[in-house]
Structure formats: C-alpha cells, structure tokens
Structure 1
Amino acid sequence: MQTQFTDADLAKPHIREADRVLRTCVHCGFCNATCPTYQLLGDERDGPRGRIYLMKELLESPDDDDQVTRETQLHLDRCLTCRNCETTCPSGVEYHKLLDIGRAEVDRRVGRTPRERILHLGLRKALVDPQRFKALLSLGQTFRPLVPGALRDKMPARPMDAGKRPDGKQHARQMLILEGCVQPGLSPNTNAATARVLDRLGIGLTPAPEAGCCGAIDYHLNAQDAGRARMRANIDAWWPAIENGVEAIVQTASGCGAFVKEYADMLADDPAYAEKAERVSALARDLSEILRDEDLDALDVKESRRLAFHCPCTLQHAQRLGGAVEGVLTRLGFELTPVQDAHLCCGSAGTYSVTQPELARQLRDNKLDNLEAGNPELIVTANIGCQTHLDGAGRTSVRHWIEIVDEALNPA
C-alpha cells in the first residue's frame, strides 16, 4: 500500500511505525474472510482492510481535517483486536500495532463523550488492582440483582475455593507466575491448580506479590503511558528472581501472556528498560508451553472427561499456540470434541464485552453453539476473560483447563 506521509510526519516515531505497517498491506481482503465483526456486520469498514484504509486516511490528514469523525472512531472501537486477520494475512501485516496508533490518534482528535470517559476510567480503576477488584466483586455478588446485565454475566456467584498451594521451594527448577488482576478474584483456583500440577513435575512456582496487572487493560483503553508504567513495575518486581536464574515466567491467562511477550517491543525505546524488557519477553511462557515440553508420565490422570476446548484469540492468533493445549489434554487422555469455526473470537476481548455488549453477546452465543454441538461434559479455555464471558451465558459450565487436569489427578 502506498502512503503519502511528509518528511515532517515521518520524523514522528508513531507515524514512522504506522508507515512501515501500512506498506506491508496489499489490500487483498483475505482478512475479511476471518474477521468476526465483518462476518456479523458485513460492512467493509468493520473489517481489517476497511479499518486500515480509515487509519491511513486519518494519519495522513492534517489535524484540522473535518473528515475525521466519531464514525471513524466507532469502526475502530468495534474491532476486537483478536488478531485473526494477522493469522490469515499472507503479507504479515502487524495490524494490532497499527490499530493502537490509530485509536490513540482518533481519540486525540475526536475525544470521548463524558459517558465513555467515565466507563473507560471506571474499567481501568476497577480491574487493574487485584484487591480493589476483589472488594468490588464481593460487593457486586452481595447486590447481584442490582448489577447491570453486562457486568452481572461476568460475576460468578461464588468462586471455587483455591485449595492448598504447594510451596515448591525444594525443587531445583523454579519459575515465576503472574497472578494477574481479575483472575485471583474470579477464579482463584486456576493458579493454585497450576502450582499443584507443576509441583508433581518437580517445578516450583513462585508469585511476585509486587507484580500486578500486566498493563494490557490500560494500554488498550488508550492509557498507554499508564500501561507502560505497569510494565516497568512488573519488570522491577520480577528482576531479582530473574537474576537468580528462574527458568520462566508462567502465564495462565493467555491475554496476559500475549501482552508480556510484547514488553520488548513496547519498551524498545526506553533506555532504562529495553534490555530488561527483552529478557522478560524471552522468559514469558504460556502454561501450555511448559507442559507441552515436559514428560507427563508423572501426571497419572485417574479420571478423564469429554471436553470442548475454546482456544482464546490471544493464544492461537497472538501467541501462535493453537493446538498446544489440545495436545497436552490429548496426551493426558482427555477426549476433545470437534469445534466448528474454532478460529473465531468469543466476544470477550478484554473489556470489549463491556464496551460493545451487543456484538459481544452475538459472538458469545455463536461460539457456545459451536462448542456445545459435540455434547461435551464441560467447556475449558485458557483465558479468564473468555472463561467468565462464556460462563456468564448460564449454559454449559466453563473452566480453565488446568483445573480439570488437577481434578483428574485428585478425583476425591
């Protein structure tokens, strides 16, 4: 794709990066065939190719151009950032990087309504602090009938007890784990089950209490400076253990994992953190990557089940780990049912299910129809956002896959 940026434009780092991405696009349109919002809406501007054109026009236009409107903002807002288009694209267009630039620019020019500003700020403040989120969650569960439907659907009546978590310090192999921001409140058993399973494999799992939200929520709600500040804080929290030789930083939420793996790119221009960020991204591992490479004989599954696996977009498209969880579950003896259109997003997409509830519900219902078609006992996934979004429909129960593995090892 040809661009028309001036030399003055190209002196700006974000325009230079946008120019690089835009020039890789050959506007073939293959991306539209796998774009969830294009499938629902049938509007070129709600597919990747159309959004790329909108962002090109936006970034090439002067600040006072009245063609930049809230309609442009709407079409960019409707994007799930699922990155399905990147998996499909034959030219390797890094669409998500362009989208971050385009969203920031259109927000700068058009602004946000008071309602949108309050919603975005509320999501950032409520979700990123684990203790604050737990308190708000407890309050919401107490007054559940009064909570708006889009939020009530994401609120389990009572999270499953985490159970005992092994210390693991006796093991020669040591790994860090990112506890996350909403997962400790919504599904505290996920990381506890992970620690128990890895303990059986001779791996000690250590949390870093000072590490908090990975930064994705702030960053994708166009508070990118705040997102980078969280990245730096996490790096500082992990660094002593990294210097002591930890083997990996384990992520049980694929959304966090995808984001941490991009710390190196997002802090590449920070002289104080660029080298450390590169090291952190190199150590980041989704849980499925850990188990995929292990001898699983020590995991004596006593009770297999019939499961449908929903592969989150952040796992299959961002991290390119489609098939990794399925491979581990199959090796352990679980039966996996076929899932049609497994590449399509469930509609969770971080905060998307709150900011775009109607589209998110349509995508969720379509996804559940496909997951339930094989009559599984339950649905498993690898990301807390997908888990709570799908489970909120009140249909087939949805859990994190590692919890089911842990239970199969300890059926009592």
Structure 2
Amino acid sequence: MQTNLADFMRNTADGEEAEAILRKCVHCGFCTATCPTYQILGDELDGPRGRIYLIKQMMEGAPVTRSTQLHLDRCLTCRNCETTCPSGVQYGRLLEIGRKVVEEKVERPFGQRVQRKLLANFLPNSKLFTPAMKVGQQFRPLLPKALRTKIPVAQRPLVPPTSTHERKMLMLAGCVQPAMMPNVNIATARVFDALGIQIMTAPDAGCCGAIRLHLGYNEEALDDVRNNIDAWWPYVENGVEAIVMNASGCGATVKEYAHLLRNDPDYAGKAARIVDLTRDLAEILPLYEDELTTMVRRRAVHTVAFHPPCTLQHGQQIRGHVENLLTALGIEVHLPADSHLCCGSAGTYSVLQPKLSYALRDQKLDKLEKLEPQMIVSANVGCIAHLQSGTSTPVVHWIQLLEHLLYG
C-alpha cells in the first residue's frame, strides 16, 4: 500500500512504524472473513481492511471525524486478522497508532470522556477495585441485571501452598483477577507447587498496562509497564526462571513490553529481558505432561468445552497446547465451531460497546453449549466472567480444572 505521510507523522517513531505496516497490506480482504465486527455489521469500515484505509487517510492528513473514531472504537483488538493475514500485517500495532491520532484530533462527548476516565483509573487500581468488588459481591442479588452480570459470584478460596522450593518463578497477580477470581492465582501456585516450583509475586507489581493502553491513555500505560519492570527487576537479578502469566490478556501485553519501551533508553534493555522471561501457562505446563499424568487423581469432570481467548491464540500465537495437555490427562476436550472468533469480552469492550459485545457472547455460548460440556474452560479472566454472565454452565480457568485433577 503506497503512503504519503503528512508532516505531523513524517519522521516520527509512530509514523515510521505505521508506514512500514501499511506498506505490507495488499488489500486482499482475507482479514474481513475472520473479523467479528464485520460479520455482525457487514460494513467495510468495521473490518480490518476498512479500518486500515481510515488510518492511512489520517496519516496522510485527511480530516479525522467522530465517524472515524467510532469505527476504530468498534474494533475488539482480537487480532484474528493477524492470524489470517498472508502478508504479516501487524494490525494491532497499527490500530494503537491510529487510535492515538484520533484521540489527539477528535474530542469525545463528555459522557464518553467521563466513562473512559473512570475505567482507566478504577480497574487498574486494586486499592479501589478490590473493596468495590467485595461490596458488589455481597449485595450482588440486589443489583440491577446490567451491573450484576459484571460481578462474579464470590469464590470459596483455595488454600495457598506454603512450601518453599529451590526452583522459583514469578507470577503477575494482575489488577482485577485477585478480586474477581482469586482461585485462579491460588490454583496456579498449587499446580506449580506439586511440580516442585515455588510461585512468587512482586507486591509492587500491578496492572500490565493493557487497560489504559487500549483506552488511549498511552503515557499512563507506559508508567504501568515501567512500574512492573521495576517491581520485577530484583527477582530477575536473583535468577528467577520465568515470569508466569495465567491471564492471556496480560501475557499478550507483557510480551509487547520491549516494543512499547523501544525508544526509552532507561528501560529498553530491561523490557527486552522481561519479554524473554515471560511465559504463558500454556507454554510452561505442557513441558511437565509426564509428571502431571502420574499425579492425576480420580476426577468428577471428564468433558469440557474450551474457549481459547484471542489474546492466547492470536495475540500470543499459542494454539493447541491447552487442549493437548488436558487430553493427555484424560479430559475430553471439545472446541466450538467458531473457536477462532472473539467472545466479545475484549477488556473494557463489554462496557463501552455492550450491544456488539453481548451479541458476540451469545453467538459463542450457543456454539459452546451445543457441545454439552460439564464445564467451559478458558484462559483469561475477562473471557471467563463475560461467558459466565450468559450461562448456567460453570466457566472456569483451565488451571483450576488442572488443580482439581491433581488435588481432587
């Protein structure tokens, strides 16, 4: 795709990156076939190719309008198009640049500005989010349905392991997961404990940065990134084996740290080292398949449907690992017919674009429930909460199922 950058983009880091990405696009349209919003809305501008055209026009100095902003807002950032694209177009990175330009050139309506500001400051702040979630869970039956569906039922907590081991790995606890689904982190620690690996968390680590990044608060997001690097660095210097991610959305973002801080001389090298150490659960635990097979106890769950989050299969390009491991452990795993498509959660998308989000959720649940599973498993807190809000079938993280297989 030929480009002629406007002066405000020429000779800038974002401009050079955007131009390189745009030049890879050959207008083939394969991406539209796997774009969830295009499938629902049928509008070229609500598919990757159309959005690429919009971003190209912005970069070349065309007027930026609320319509442009709306079409970019509707993107889930699922990155399914990247998996489909034969030319290797890094659409996700291009979209972030495009959204940054839109935020600078188009003022949002007051209500949207307030809503996005609240989300950017509330969700990543565990000191605010955790007590609010506890209150919400306590009064959940009395809340309106729209709010009740956003609040998972409180979990009976698992007992964390207390053993120490010579082998140690670091885990990102996350910002919303400890409050919404604390057993995911505890189950992770228990599974690794069974393998003789001690899971540690850095108290000062917080949000991975994804929430603010996707809301357009780019500098604040980079502060989140630097904060985590600072919190993790002493552990890195002490030789921690890996940084474990049990939320695929966080994993996809942390693996972008080197790119996000590539122009920061103080953090670029450290960010690259963090990326080298970062591993999703689905990258680590299959390495211990033989050991885990010998540990499996009698189980009450034997048939599950697996929803692979977009951040796992498209963002991190990890496919088949979870299914293969669970199958090896004696679980019958089924994938829905549209397993490549987004469930509609997409971080804050279900709040900002509820109509599209719930339409995608209902489509996904229809396919999952036709498999008649005992439970639905996934790999990201947002997907799990979003799917559970529309079904009575239990929806859990696959690490919780694995913990059940080991401990009963």
1:59 is aligned to 59
* Distance in structure 1 (CA, Å) of the matches to 2:148 and 2:54: 35
Q: After superposition, where does 1:159-238 map in structure 2 within 5 Å?
A: 160-169=155-164, 171-238=165-232
Matched, 1:395 2:389: no
Give the drift of 1:138.
2.1
* Distance in structure 2 (CA, Å) of the matches to 1:161 and 1:84: 35
1:46 is aligned to 46
Matched, 1:75 2:80: no
What do residues 148-181 of structure 1 show as CA deviations (whole Å, max 9, x unaligned)?
Answer: 54442120132x1232111342x22110000001
Matched, 1:319 2:319: no
Residue of 269, 273, 279 corresponding to 2:273: 279
Name the stretch that deviates more: 138-147 or 303-312: 138-147
Name the stretch that deviates more: 300-309 or 41-50: 300-309
1:334 is aligned to 331
1:33 is aligned to 33
Q: After superposition, where does 1:114-133 map in structure 2 within 5 Å?
A: 114-133=110-129
* Distance in structure 1 (CA, Å) of the matches to 2:142 and 2:121: 21
2:379 is aligned to 382
2:243 is aligned to 249
Aligned letter for 1:251? M
Contact 1:32/1:38 (<8 A) preserved: yes
Give the drift of 1:130.
1.8
* Distance in structure 2 (CA, Å) of the matches to 1:112 and 1:144: 32
Give the drift of 1:146.
6.4
Aligned letter for 1:89? C
Contact 2:3/2:22 (<8 A) preserved: yes
Contact 1:299/1:409 (<8 A) preserved: yes
1:301 is aligned to 297
2:85 is aligned to 89
For residues 41 and 330 of structure 1, do their structure 2 counterparts lie closer, same or farther at Cα, with a shift above 3 Å needed?
same
1:258 is aligned to 252
1:139 is aligned to 135
Q: TM-score, normalised by structure 1?
A: 0.95
Give the drift of 1:143.
4.1
Give the drift of 1:278.
0.2
Give the drift of 1:205.
0.4
Identity in percent? 55
* Residue aligned with 1:293, SS: helix
* Distance in structure 2 (CA, Å) of the matches to 1:242 and 1:86: 32
For residues 138 and 97 of structure 1, do their structure 2 counterparts lie closer, same or farther at Cα, with a shift above 3 Å needed?
same
Contact 1:346/1:367 (<8 A) preserved: yes
Aligned letter for 2:113? R
* Distance in structure 2 (CA, Å) of the matches to 1:203 and 1:185: 24
Give the drift of 1:9.
3.5
Name the stretch that deviates more: 160-169 or 206-215: 160-169
Q: After superposition, where does 1:98-113 map in structure 2 within 5 Å?
A: 98-113=94-109
Give the drift of 1:215.
0.7
Contact 1:35/1:84 (<8 A) preserved: yes
Matched, 1:239 2:236: no
Aligned letter for 1:381? S
Name the stretch that deviates more: 366-375 or 330-339: 330-339
* Distance in structure 2 (CA, Å) of the matches to 1:128 and 1:105: 24
Aligned letter for 1:369? D
Contact 2:365/2:391 (<8 A) preserved: no
Contact 1:76/1:99 (<8 A) preserved: yes
1:18 is aligned to 18
For residues 11 and 36 of structure 1, do their structure 2 counterparts lie closer, same or farther at Cα, with a shift above 3 Å needed?
same
Contact 1:22/1:52 (<8 A) preserved: yes
2:356 is aligned to 359
* Residue aligned with 1:10, SS: coil
Contact 2:245/2:280 (<8 A) preserved: yes
* Distance in structure 1 (CA, Å) of the matches to 2:110 and 2:266: 36
* Distance in structure 2 (CA, Å) of the matches to 1:76 and 1:343: 21
* Distance in structure 2 (CA, Å) of the matches to 1:73 and 1:9: 18
* Distance in structure 2 (CA, Å) of the matches to 1:76 and 1:354: 16
Matched, 1:407 2:404: yes
State the number of aligned residues: 405
Give the drift of 1:268.
0.7
* Residue aligned with 1:379, SS: strand
Q: TM-score, normalised by structure 2?
A: 0.96
* Distance in structure 2 (CA, Å) of the matches to 1:399 and 1:7: 50
The CA RMSD over aligned residues, in Å, is: 1.4
